[in-house]
Amino acid sequence: MDYSLLKQFVAVTATVGLYSVLYKENKFYRFWEHVFLGLASGWALVILWTDVLKSGWYEKMLGASAADGNTAVMGYWPYMFLLPIGLMAYTVFNKKHNWLSRIPIGIILGLYSGQQFSAWMTYYGPLLNDSMKPIVPNTAEFFHPATVVPGTVYVSDALTNLIALLTVISVLTYFLFSFDVKSKVLHATSTTGRWLLMIGFGAIFGSTVMMRFTLLIDRMYFIWIEFVKQGLLHMK
């Protein structure tokens, strides 16, 4: 028996229940909120065992014999020391022994810090490199011709690069000279930086609103097209 329509009905009821808070706080909303929280927590616990602890630690520690086409794996007993180290994190709840929790936290911090050296350069290196662009054109042509000559900086390119450079400098000035500056040039640059930041935040806010609307549209699509039109009315 196909339960897809029943499953869709439950999902539609959950959607309506969660949206009902827009009218006012109510028990129907609370019920579905708790159902969602319970399901998400339960699912996370199962995945924690199946995808993380069982395959990543337990089975590697004990090993496995060949079966069902899978090869045998030798057990790696030193993995057993990971259990007490992990359990030390829970001593944070005990006043007398909570110092032990600093050991696993220290290990994690050390690993993370070590990674960050290379991560910083991988992340910022290309961005820094890309911000160094030519601002002097080497041709009198304004726009790109039909065939772009490699290495040519057209006037339009130079202007674009100049805007990018001015943005970088003014925004950096805004953050570096956050105290009361006497120089009029610095003050003007800093103010320009603030304005450009505001424009940037406006663009991000616009994207955020657009995304939220899309999520609403998706839910409406699910209710009216997937459930009502295609599911109940069998229309294409």
Report the interface residues with another protein, using CB under 8 A.
22-23, 40, 43-44, 47-48, 50-52, 55-56, 59-60, 68-71, 73, 111-112, 115, 118-120, 122-123, 126-127, 129-130, 144, 147-148, 200, 203-204, 207-211, 213-221, 224-225, 229
Return the closest-CA partner of residue 154 out of 138, 131, 132. Answer: 138
Report the nearest approach of another protein to the CB of residue 235 (Å). 10
Q: How far apart are CA 141 and CA 50, in angstroms?
A: 63
Strand partners, 156: none
Q: What is the largest CA-CA distance in the chain?
A: 78
CB-based contacts of 71-79 (< 8 A; 24+ apart in sequence): none
Cα 171 to Cα 163, 175, 203: the distances in Å are: 12, 7, 16
Distance between CA atoms of 225 and 236, rounded to whole angstroms? Answer: 9
What minimum distance in Å lies between the beta carbon of 214 and another protein?
Answer: 4
User: Using an 8 Å Cβ cutoff, are 165 and 131 in contact?
Assistant: yes
User: CB of 1: closest distance to another protein in angstroms?
Assistant: 19
- Minimum CB–partner distance for residue 191 and another protein (Å): 22
- Which residues lie closer than 8 Å to 231 by C-beta, 6 or more apart? 4, 5, 8
Nearer to another protein, 1 or 233 (CB): 233
| CB 211, min distance to another protein, A | 4
Q: Are 187 and 181 in contact (CB under 8 A)?
A: yes
CB nearer another protein, residue 55 or residue 191:
55
SS3 letters across 116-132: HHHHHHHHHHHHHHHHC
Smallest separation, CB 181 to another protein (Å) = 28
Which of residues 43 and 195 has its CB atom nearest to another protein in the complex?
43
- Comparison of 66 and 185: residue with beta carbon closer to another protein: 66
Cβ nearer to another protein, comparing 62 with 176: 62
Comparison of 73 and 232: residue with beta carbon closer to another protein: 73
